Amino acid sequence: MNYSYFHVVVYANLPVANLFSTEQNKRNALYEKSAAFINFLQHVEQEKEQYPIHLAVPPVYYDILEMPLFQKEMTEFLEKNKEAYEKELHYWREYSKKLNKAIRYLLIQKKLELLASAATFSPLTNLTTTKGISMQIDKGRAIIENLFNYDPTGFWFPNGSYTPGLDLHVKNAGFEFSFLKGETIKFSDPLPSEEGTAVVSPHGLMVFPIEETLTTILENKLSNRNDIQNEIVSIVNAYNHYRHQGAITMAVELSIFTERRSELNKGMMYLIDEGFIAYISPAAYQNQFKEELDQVHLCASCLQTKKASSFKEFGSYYADAVFMEKQWEYLNTHDVDVERRALAQLEKEWLLLTGLLVEMTEENRELAENHTKAAEKLLSFLQGSYDMEWLQEREKKVSILTASGMQTNAKERLNKQTSKKKALILSWEYPPNIVGGLGTHVAGLTNSLVKKGYEVHLITAQNIKLAEEEKDEKAGLFVYRVKPLNSLEENFIHWIAGLNMRMWEKAMELGAEISFDLIQAHDWLVGAAAASLKEEWNIPLLVTIHATEYGRNGGIYTEMQKFIHEKESQLIAASNGIIVCSDYMKEELMQIFKVDQKKIYTIPNGIDMNISYETTCQTISDLPIGKEKKVVFAMGRLVKEKGFGTFLGAAKKISLYNKDICFVLAGVGPMYEEYKYYIETNELQSVVFLIGYLQEDQKKELYKRADIVVIPSHYEPFGIVALESLVYAKPTIVSNTGGLKAIVEHQKSGIVVEPAETQQLIEGIEFLAANKKRAEDIGKNGRKLVEQLFSWNRIGDETIRVFDEVVIQHKMKETVF
């Protein structure tokens, strides 16, 4: 004969939040339910059921039973309706209005076992943070432990609401078993090897299946003890348990239990006597069968699926509870300066609101409103000033868990606030993501700023193949690499929109702990985020414009260019100040965007004075150049105006009589083929080397090896390239043109020759080749020159000056109005 173990669970969603309603009839609903609860306790005490009942009610209800207000009004309620509640009143008086005494007695008698649950019966599936979930579970447990000196090992999911992962939280809180809808266990993955037994969840929680057919039968008012018996017997027979580990759980709502208990009892007694079923404590069951239980994945589950209308009508309260929880969690885990009482009260409002969500109806909408409004008010206090009077009132009105008190948890200390000035910098490019000069510029700038005492927080785009990351790159420099939601978006415009939204989010997160003095945005790409943040925080916005779409294309011709041009306009309009790298750019802005020149600051691009001395590459050793040869190096885009034709002409002549000098030309461009042809036809292959495009380290190698550098441009509006060679302290020959002529002093920090004058260039090269000491001095002086005028040290100072000026201007404007 088959037999099975069984448990009976009685649960009651007692309307605890009703206690805090201002309307008497709402509070009476709680007292009515409490009267039914008393009836239940009475029954349990008097009846001789041969098995304990597992009781699940919102733990906070036990706390409420201790409250004088509850006891007073409950007494009034019972006395007013004493015809209906004669027995209950008697029982109530017997225990001197302290029902917990009754429960304690029943626990000792082993007639009752308590299942812990979320403090206010809030479905854990609605909770959103680990701290929120553990707080509700822990508080629920603590109430039971403190009031009854009872250690609950079983947990009840309110409404049987479960989703994978919650088992971990429940297990971590110290519980051993729980219950879920039978169907969920029936369809576990993998399928259970035996139906009708308990299983173990992925995180080790033992779960008993609830037989829904029994619930249905009980709920049917017309069924009788025979129906119940027959159903149980057929269940027992249906599950063929070789190891007798079948466990049938009946989970019944309290009012149904009360109505049907006499039939139920009769049925149960018969079955127990006949040996079909036997009670086993979950602990004993676990001890006996734990090795044999299947460990399976359990899917999302709940006892009564809410009608879609419940979410549709009351969805906003579910959402409110979530956003409330997130803020509560943050304020509880970070050392933010907030009034503890307000935070404690916020917790209570949230607990009560989430408890209501287990069964939202039109009747308790008002209660939900009540708590939502109070929570909003409390959150507004935390941002501004406190209305202590209101808080005091509210504390009195809504007071649960005053006995258990608030635990003061260790809180995460915020970064120690320094008195350093703090800049938020947005740049879509930053090493190692370098596309053009922007990234290199921002790297140099941020380094310089932190050396000079600024605290810099830089938000940039992360490589789409990698995860987001935050790094303390060095003292005072924090780099955050983010990815937009649509990081795989192919359309660049959309990708940038996504990036801006993600940067905004990141900046706001930082803004929770850091008070920035200003924002700096590099080019239009990050403009939308920068402008939005400026408005949010009301701090000055500085924009560095590296290049314009108009300038790049010589005008605006396509839709895309128009779009970008508009974004540049908007950003310029939103900014408090604009930094450009040359007067040429300044003119461009004034002309194209009609910017007031007072708003524009010209700060040239800086250059990194550090040159590392690791020799890692072989670009030079690949070339057939002996160590004793002198190398004359030139590099740049191979276009006519860079004057490499003159360079080759000089090389040709020199090679006729001087075998100690060789020439290296690096770069790519339209003139490549022509230069190659020239070298071949003049048989200069062993003396002149055209080596194409150079990577960063290859370039460094060449500069180091070079003995002389030549910049023979016919036209040079002055780019960074010119500065690079000087940084290597190599004696440099420059054309007397454009920006170069202004900087280099002939025979002192370089050799200046007229553009396109081959003979002058030859003389210059020979002079440097023949006079080693002079060449060395000239090289050193060239480097000093760059250091004086273009080092990041210098540029950093100037940038800070602009920062400071803009911040002061902004503050003055604020105080005037």
Residues 553-582, interacting with other proteins (CB under 8 A): 567, 570
746 touching other proteins, by CB under 8 A: no
Using DSSP, state whether 2 is helix, strand or coil.
coil
- Interface with other proteins in residues 754-793 (CB under 8 A): 784, 787-790, 793
Residue of the chain from 108, 485, 560, 611 that contacts other proteins (CB under 8 A):
485
- Interface with other proteins in residues 382-401 (CB under 8 A): 382-384
487 touching other proteins, by CB under 8 A: yes
- Interface with other proteins in residues 705-724 (CB under 8 A): none
536 touching other proteins, by CB under 8 A: yes
The percent of the chain in helix, strand and coil, each rounded to the nearest 5, is 55, 15, 30
- Structure-derived torsion over alpha carbons of residues 313, 319, 320, 326, reported in degrees to the nearest 10: 170
Please say which residue, 697 or 805, places its beta carbon nearer to other proteins. 805
- Interface with other proteins in residues 668-697 (CB under 8 A): none
The secondary structure of 186-198, three-state, reads HCCECCCCCCCEC
521 touching other proteins, by CB under 8 A: no
- Shortest approach of other proteins to residue 111 CB, angstroms? 35
- Shortest approach of other proteins to residue 747 CB, angstroms? 16
One-character DSSP codes across 548-581: -HHHHHTS--SHHHHHHHHHHHHHHHH-SEEEES
Instruction: Label the pairing between strands 4-11 and 53-56.
Output: parallel
- Shortest approach of other proteins to residue 135 CB, angstroms? 12
Please say which residue, 128 or 255, places its beta carbon nearer to other proteins. 128
How far is the C-alpha of 132 from the C-alpha of 328, rounded, in Å? Answer: 8
Please say which residue, 336 or 623, places its beta carbon nearer to other proteins. 336
Single out the segment in contact with other proteins by CB under 8 A; choices: 14-22, 267-275, 479-487, 591-599: 479-487
The answer to whether the CB of 571 falls within 8 A of the CB of 524 is yes
Please say which residue, 19 or 133, places its beta carbon nearer to other proteins. 133
188 touching other proteins, by CB under 8 A: yes
- Shortest approach of other proteins to residue 83 CB, angstroms? 43
Q: Tokens 């779009």, residue?
A: 563
Give the CA angle between residues 458, 464, 465 to the nearest 5°: 120
- Shortest approach of other proteins to residue 17 CB, angstroms? 21
- Shortest approach of other proteins to residue 719 CB, angstroms? 14
- Shortest approach of other proteins to residue 558 CB, angstroms? 15
One-character DSSP codes across 303-348: SSPPPHHHHHHHHHHHHHHHHHHHHHHHHHHB-----HHHHHHHHH
- Shortest approach of other proteins to residue 299 CB, angstroms? 4
Beta-bridged to residue 346, according to DSSP, are none
Single out the segment in contact with other proteins by CB under 8 A; choices: 303-311, 622-630, 652-660, 706-714: 303-311
Please say which residue, 11 or 790, places its beta carbon nearer to other proteins. 790
Please say which residue, 156 or 718, places its beta carbon nearer to other proteins. 718
Give the CA angle between residues 59, 60, 64 to the nearest 5°: 125
Single out the segment in contact with other proteins by CB under 8 A; choices: 257-265, 276-284, 529-537, 689-697: 529-537
How far is the C-alpha of 386 from the C-alpha of 186, rounded, in Å? Answer: 53
Please say which residue, 403 or 512, places its beta carbon nearer to other proteins. 512
- Shortest approach of other proteins to residue 551 CB, angstroms? 20
How far is residue 520 from each of residues 333, 462, 475, 545, measured CA to CA in Å? 31, 19, 20, 11
Q: 10 Å Cβ neighbour count for 109?
A: 11
- Shortest approach of other proteins to residue 219 CB, angstroms? 20
- Interface with other proteins in residues 147-166 (CB under 8 A): 163-166
- Shortest approach of other proteins to residue 536 CB, angstroms? 5
Residue of the chain from 532, 658, 736, 747 that contacts other proteins (CB under 8 A):
532
Residue 458 backbone dihedrals phi, psi, to 5 degrees: -115, 125
202 touching other proteins, by CB under 8 A: yes
489 touching other proteins, by CB under 8 A: yes
Amino acid at 759: Q
212 touching other proteins, by CB under 8 A: no
How far is the C-alpha of 440 from the C-alpha of 433, rounded, in Å? Answer: 10
* Residues ≥6 apart with Cβ < 8 Å to 509: none
Residue of the chain from 533, 543, 654, 751 that contacts other proteins (CB under 8 A):
533
- Shortest approach of other proteins to residue 629 CB, angstroms? 34
Please say which residue, 96 or 515, places its beta carbon nearer to other proteins. 515
- Shortest approach of other proteins to residue 497 CB, angstroms? 5
The answer to whether the CB of 733 falls within 8 A of the CB of 660 is no
Please say which residue, 475 or 816, places its beta carbon nearer to other proteins. 475
How far is the C-alpha of 794 from the C-alpha of 622, rounded, in Å? Answer: 38
- Interface with other proteins in residues 49-108 (CB under 8 A): none
The tokens for 20 are 């805090």
- Shortest approach of other proteins to residue 797 CB, angstroms? 7
The answer to whether the CB of 286 falls within 8 A of the CB of 206 is yes
Using DSSP, state whether 517 is helix, strand or coil.
coil
- Shortest approach of other proteins to residue 632 CB, angstroms? 26
Please say which residue, 147 or 579, places its beta carbon nearer to other proteins. 579
- Shortest approach of other proteins to residue 387 CB, angstroms? 16
- Computed over its alpha carbons, how large is the radius of gyration of the chain? 40
Single out the segment in contact with other proteins by CB under 8 A; choices: 81-89, 210-218, 505-513, 688-696: 505-513
- Of 740, 548, 554, which is closest to residue 642 (Cα–Cα)? 740
| CA within 13 Å, CB half, 342 | 24
- Structure-derived torsion over alpha carbons of residues 117, 120, 125, 126, reported in degrees to the nearest 10: -170
- Interface with other proteins in residues 399-458 (CB under 8 A): 417-422, 451-453
Q: Specify the DSSP class assigned to residue 791.
A: B
Q: Tokens 């989970």, residue?
A: 251
Residue of the chain from 387, 505, 763, 805 that contacts other proteins (CB under 8 A):
505
Which secondary structure element, helix H or strand E, spans residue 690, and what is its range?
strand 688-692
Residue of the chain from 8, 41, 89, 133 that contacts other proteins (CB under 8 A):
133
What length does the chain have? 817
Sheet containing 577-580: give its strands across: 469-474, 477-482, 455-461, 422-426, 518-522, 541-544, 577-580, 600-602
Beta-bridged to residue 457, according to DSSP, are 424, 478
- Interface with other proteins in residues 313-352 (CB under 8 A): 315-316, 318-319, 322-324, 326-327, 330-331, 336-338
Please say which residue, 336 or 344, places its beta carbon nearer to other proteins. 336
- Of 738, 721, 692, 702, which is closest to residue 786 (Cα–Cα)? 721
- Shortest approach of other proteins to residue 614 CB, angstroms? 23
The answer to whether the CB of 177 falls within 8 A of the CB of 206 is yes
174 touching other proteins, by CB under 8 A: no
- Interface with other proteins in residues 588-647 (CB under 8 A): 602, 604
Single out the segment in contact with other proteins by CB under 8 A; choices: 45-53, 387-395, 485-493, 691-699: 485-493
Residue of the chain from 222, 410, 656, 742 that contacts other proteins (CB under 8 A):
742
Please say which residue, 319 or 770, places its beta carbon nearer to other proteins. 319
- Interface with other proteins in residues 240-299 (CB under 8 A): 295-297, 299
- Shortest approach of other proteins to residue 768 CB, angstroms? 23
The answer to whether the CB of 577 falls within 8 A of the CB of 806 is yes
Please say which residue, 590 or 789, places its beta carbon nearer to other proteins. 789
How far is the C-alpha of 605 from the C-alpha of 135, rounded, in Å? Answer: 54
Residue 151 backbone dihedrals phi, psi, to 5 degrees: -105, 100
